C-alpha cells in the first residue's frame, strides 16, 4: 500500500468475516448475513435458554432446599437447664428440693455490642425493679460506664499517644486498647446514683451472657405485674423474655444439712472445660461440695431445647421451645433423719458434759453407725470443739475427714494378720509380760506392768493385751521376744516387710485406705512410710494402734468387716437413685441404680475357726466375767453386743505452751441378732485428760435408740 493510499476498514472487516477473501458482490444486489455470524447468534441464544431453564429449576425445584439453607443460617438451637433432682432421707422426707420462681430472662443474640446491651438494660430498668447487686466490682462499673459510646470516646480522647501504643510504638490491638481505656477510667467517673447502679446491675448480668446463651435478669420476687409488662414490651426488648427458674431449698435440720453440700452459680475455671465437654452451659448451677458434687451427673436434669430465629443484624426475632427438658433423678439416703437426730443429740449431750473439764483439750467427738451387711451408713454424727473453751458445733463431715490414733480397737485386725501370715494357730497361748527392748522404755499391757501371765488369743482381745500384740509384731519380723533384745532398724527390709504385712491386713479391713464412701475428699488416714524417720519400736506401737491414724468412718467399716468374717463392703450414704413421677417427685417404683452391698474385698486366708476366735474375744470383751473384761458396760445392750475398746496416748500443747498428757478414748461395736438386723458402731473421743466411760455410754445409748425404735 502506498503511503498516500487510505485504509479501507469496511473492506478489511468484510474480509475477516468471509474467511480472508474479499467478498464478491454483484452489482445492484444486497448481501446475505454470513454463516459464521448466524452460528454465533445461535450459540448466544442457546446460552440464554439454558440460563432461563436453570433459574426456573432453582426457583421451582430447589426452592425448599435453598429456603432450608437460609433458615439454617438464621436459625440456631439453644439449650436451657431443667430443675435439679431432689434428695430424700431413708424415710422419704425431703432434704433438698426445688421451688419454682417466675423469672425475667435474657438471651443474647449474635454480634450484640455492649452499647446495644446498655440500651436494652436501660429499657428494662424503666419497666421493672431489679435490686442492686452488692457484689458489683470496680471492673463491672467501668464496663458499664464505657458501654456508653460518648464516655468511651471521651476517655480515648484524654489518652496520650503513648498510652495508645505498645512498647514497640505500634498501635494497640482491639482488646489491648480496651484494657488501656478501662485502666484510664478514674474512680470519680464510676460514682453512680442508685438508679444508675440498678441499670449497671442489669447491664452486668446481660453483658456476661455469651452469644445465644440465656441468663436470668431477675429470678426471685418477680411479680405478676412485672411478668406482664415485660411480655407486653418484648418486641422492643431484643432477647428479653419471661420464664421460670428454680431455687434449691434445703432442710433446716442442722444435723444432716452439712452432708448435702451446696450449689454454685456458673462453672468455675478449673472445672469448666470438663463440664462444657459434657454439654453444660457456662451459666449452669452445679454442685460444689458433698452430695451435690458427688452425684452431680445424677441430679443434673436434661436440658430444654429452643429454636431461636435471628434477624439479619444478629438480634433475636423469636424463641420457640422444641424439646422440654426433664428434671434430674433423685437420691434416697441410707440415713433416717429421726435416727440421725437421736445419734447427734447423744454425741452432743455427752461431749458437752465434759467440754469444760476432761474434754477441755479435745477437738470434738465423732460417731458412725453402719449396717455391716451392706455398708449403709445409718448415722454419722460429729461435734467440733474449740479447744480450751466450751464452744461446740455440729460437724457431720468430721466423721470421714478427721483422723485420729485408734488405740487398741485395731487388735482384732492384728490377730487376723497373725493368722494370715501363719504366725500363731488357733487360740494360742502367749505370755503377757512387759516388753523390754534395748535402749527403750518398757512397754506393757494396762493390766500387767511387771509380772508374767499366760493368756490365750481370746483373752488377749477380752483383756486388751498390748504385750500379746507386740509379740505378734516381733513374729512378723521373724523374731521371738527375749528381754533386752535389739530390733532391726526401721528402714531395714525386716521391719519394712513387717509393716507391709500388718498394714496389708489393716487395709483389707478398711483402715488406711478409702472406704469407698460416696462423698468427695474422704480422708484415708495417715500411714507413715518414710522409714528413715520412723523409730525402730514404732512397729510394735502399730500392732496395738499407737502409730497410724484413721477416721471414724474407717473404723466403722473395719468393725463391720470383722462382723462379716472378712467381707469388706463399700460404705455409702445413698441407698439408691430413683426417677420422677408425673408430679416431679421421687418415684420409689422406678429404681434406676441400687448403690448398696458392693463388696470391696474378702479376707479369705482365715478359717471360720479363726474368725470364731476373734468373734469370741470381742464377745467376751463385753460379756466376760473376769475383772479384766474391758467393755462390761455394754452388757446392758438390748441385743448381743461385741466390742473392742481402745485408748491411745496423745499430747496436747496448750495456748501458753504447756504440754498436757491426753488419751483418745475409742470404741468399736457390732451386734448379732436372730433376724440379721445388725449394726456396727465406731466412737472416737480424742484427747481427753481422763476417760470416764463416755465412749461406752454413747454406744449404749445408740443401741437403745436403734433397737427400741425398731421394736
List phi, psi (to 5°) of 16.
-65, -45
Alpha-carbon distances of 210 from 108, 145, 205, rounded to whole Å: 7, 20, 11
Helical residues (DSSP H) of 112-267, grouped into ranges: 114-127, 138-146, 149-158, 174-184, 194-207, 224-232, 254-260
> Who contacts 521 (Cβ-Cβ below 8 Å, separation ≥6)?
401
Closest CA to 382 of 413, 351, 411: 351
Question: 297 is written with which cell numbers?
Answer: 451427673
| 668 DSSP β-pair partners | 644, 682
d(CA 400, CA 398): 5
Cβ atoms of 86 and 585 closer than 8 Å: yes
Count of Cβ atoms closer than 10 Å to residue 114 Cβ: 19
Cβ atoms of 444 and 434 closer than 8 Å: yes
The torsion angle over the Cα atoms of residues 187, 193, 194 and 197, rounded to 10 degrees, is -50
Count of Cβ atoms closer than 10 Å to residue 224 Cβ: 8
Strands 574-580 and 567-569: unpaired
> Who contacts 174 (Cβ-Cβ below 8 Å, separation ≥6)?
none
Calculate the CA 266 to chain-centre distance: 14
- What DSSP string describes 57-94? HHHHTSHHHHHHHHHHHHEEEEEE--PPPPEE-TTS-E
Strands 680-688 and 364-370: antiparallel
d(CA 409, CA 93): 35
Task: Extract long-range pairs of 621-628: CB within 8 Å, 24+ residues apart.
Answer: 621/461, 621/462, 621/464, 621/645, 624/462, 626/459, 626/462, 626/463, 628/447, 628/462, 628/463
Cβ atoms of 546 and 405 closer than 8 Å: yes
Cβ atoms of 470 and 543 closer than 8 Å: yes
Q: Is 408 a catalytic residue?
A: yes
d(CA 180, CA 153): 13
Give the active site residue among 81, 82, 304, 408. 408
Q: Residue-wise over 26-57: b if at least 16 C-beta within 10 A, else e? A: eeeeeeeeeeeeeeeeeeeeeeeeeeeeeeee
> Who contacts 429 (Cβ-Cβ below 8 Å, separation ≥6)?
454, 455, 456
Strands 330-333 and 87-88: parallel
List phi, psi (to 5°) of 97.
-130, 180
Calculate the CA 656 to chain-centre distance: 40
- What DSSP string describes 504-525? HHHHHHTSSS----SSTT----
| Positions marked active-site | 408
Amino acid at each position: 500500500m502506498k503511503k498516500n493510499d487510505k485504509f479501507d476498514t469496511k473492506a478489511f472487516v468484510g474480509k475477516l468475516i468471509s474467511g480472508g477473501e474479499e467478498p464478491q458482490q454483484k452489482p445492484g444486489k444486497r448481501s446475505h448475513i454470513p454463516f459464521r455470524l448466524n452460528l454465533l447468534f445461535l450459540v448466544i441464544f442457546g446460552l440464554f435458554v439454558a440460563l432461563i431453564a436453570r433459574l426456573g429449576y432453582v426457583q421451582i425445584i430447589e426452592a425448599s432446599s435453598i429456603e432450608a439453607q437460609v433458615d439454617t443460617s438464621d436459625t440456631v438451637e439453644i439449650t436451657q437447664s431443667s430443675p435439679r433432682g431432689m434428695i430424700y432421707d431413708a424415710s422419704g422426707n425431703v432434704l433438698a428440693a426445688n421451688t419454682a420462681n417466675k423469672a425475667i430472662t435474657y438471651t443474647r443474640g449474635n454480634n450484640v455490642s455492649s452499647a446495644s446491651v446498655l440500651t436494652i438494660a436501660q429499657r428494662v430498668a424503666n419497666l421493672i425493679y431489679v435490686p442492686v447487686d452488692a457484689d458489683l466490682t470496680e471492673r463491672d462499673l467501668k464496663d458499664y460506664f464505657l458501654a456508653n459510646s460518648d464516655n468511651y470516646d471521651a476517655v480515648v480522647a484524654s489518652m496520650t499517644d503513648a498510652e495508645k501504643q505498645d512498647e514497640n510504638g505500634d498501635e494497640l490491638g482491639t482488646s489491648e486498647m480496651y484494657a488501656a481505656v478501662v485502666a484510664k477510667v478514674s474512680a470519680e467517673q464510676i460514682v453512680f446514683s442508685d438508679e444508675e447502679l440498678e441499670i449497671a446491675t442489669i447491664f452486668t448480668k446481660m453483658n456476661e451472657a455469651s452469644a445465644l446463651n440465656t441468663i436470668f435478669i431477675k429470678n426471685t420476687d418477680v411479680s405478676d405485674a412485672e411478668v406482664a409488662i415485660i411480655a407486653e414490651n418484648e418486641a422492643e426488648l431484643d432477647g428479653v423474655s419471661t420464664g421460670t427458674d428454680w431455687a434449691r431449698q434445703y432442710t433446716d435440720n442442722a444435723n444432716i444439712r452439712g452432708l448435702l453440700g451446696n450449689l454454685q452459680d456458673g462453672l468455675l475455671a478449673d472445672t469448666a472445660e470438663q463440664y462444657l465437654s459434657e454439654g453444660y452451659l457456662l451459666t449452669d448451677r452445679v454442685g460444689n461440695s458433698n452430695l451435690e458434687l458427688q452425684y452431680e451427673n445424677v441430679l443434673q436434669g436434661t436440658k430444654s431445647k429452643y429454636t431461636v430465629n435471628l434477624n439479619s443484624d444478629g438480634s433475636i426475632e423469636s424463641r420457640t421451645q422444641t424439646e422440654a427438658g426433664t428434671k434430674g433423678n433423685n437420691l434416697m439416703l441410707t440415713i433416717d433423719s429421726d435416727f440421725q437426730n437421736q445419734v447427734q443429740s447423744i454425741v452432743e449431750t455427752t461431749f458437752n458434759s465434759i467440754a469444760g473439764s476432761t474434754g477441755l483439750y479435745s477437738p470434738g467427738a465423732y460417731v458412725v453407725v453402719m449396717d455391716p451387711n451392706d455398708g449403709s451408713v445409718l448415722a454419722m454424727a460429729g461435734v467440733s470443739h474449740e479447744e480450751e473453751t466450751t464452744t461446740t458445733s455440729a460437724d457431720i463431715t468430721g466423721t470421714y475427714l478427721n483422723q485420729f490414733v485408734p488405740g487398741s480397737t485395731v487388735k482384732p485386725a492384728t490377730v487376723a494378720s497373725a493368722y494370715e501370715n501363719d504366725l500363731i494357730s488357733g487360740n494360742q497361748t502367749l505370755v503377757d509380760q512387759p516388753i523390754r527392748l534395748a535402749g527403750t522404755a518398757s512397754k506393757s499391757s494396762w493390766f500387767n506392768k511387771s509380772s508374767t501371765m499366760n493368756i490365750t488369743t481370746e483373752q488377749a482381745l477380752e483383756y486388751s493385751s498390748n504385750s500379746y500384740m507386740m509379740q505378734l509384731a516381733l513374729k512378723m519380723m521373724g523374731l521371738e521376744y527375749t528381754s533386752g533384745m535389739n530390733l532391726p532398724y526401721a528402714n531395714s527390709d525386716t521391719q519394712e516387710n513387717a509393716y507391709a504385712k500388718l498394714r496389708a491386713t489393716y487395709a483389707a479391713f478398711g483402715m488406711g485406705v478409702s472406704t469407698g464412701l460416696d462423698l468427695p475428699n474422704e480422708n484415708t488416714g495417715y500411714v507413715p512410710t518414710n522409714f528413715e524417720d520412723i523409730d525402730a519400736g514404732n512397729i510394735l506401737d502399730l500392732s496395738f494402734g499407737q502409730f497410724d491414724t484413721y477416721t471414724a468412718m474407717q473404723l466403722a467399716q473395719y468393725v463391720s468387716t470383722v462382723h462379716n468374717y472378712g467381707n469388706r463392703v463399700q460404705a455409702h450414704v445413698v441407698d439408691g437413685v430413683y426417677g420422677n413421677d408425673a408430679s416431679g417427685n421421687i418415684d420409689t417404683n422406678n429404681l434406676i441404680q441400687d448403690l448398696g452391698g458392693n463388696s470391696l474385698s474378702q479376707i479369705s486366708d482365715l478359717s471360720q475357726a479363726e474368725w470364731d476366735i476373734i468373734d469370741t474375744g470381742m464377745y467376751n470383751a463385753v460379756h466376760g466375767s473376769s475383772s479384766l473384761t474391758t467393755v462390761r458396760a455394754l452388757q446392758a445392750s438390748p441385743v448381743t453386743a461385741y466390742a473392742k475398746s481402745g485408748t491411745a496416748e496423745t499430747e496436747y500443747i496448750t495456748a501458753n505452751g504447756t504440754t498436757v498428757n491426753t488419751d483418745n478414748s475409742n470404741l468399736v461395736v457390732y451386734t448379732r441378732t436372730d433376724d440379721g438386723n445388725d449394726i456396727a458402731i465406731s466412737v472416737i473421743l480424742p484427747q481427753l485428760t481422763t476417760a470416764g466411760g463416755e465412749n461406752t455410754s454413747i454406744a449404749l445409748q445408740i443401741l437403745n435408740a436403734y433397737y427400741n425404735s425398731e421394736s
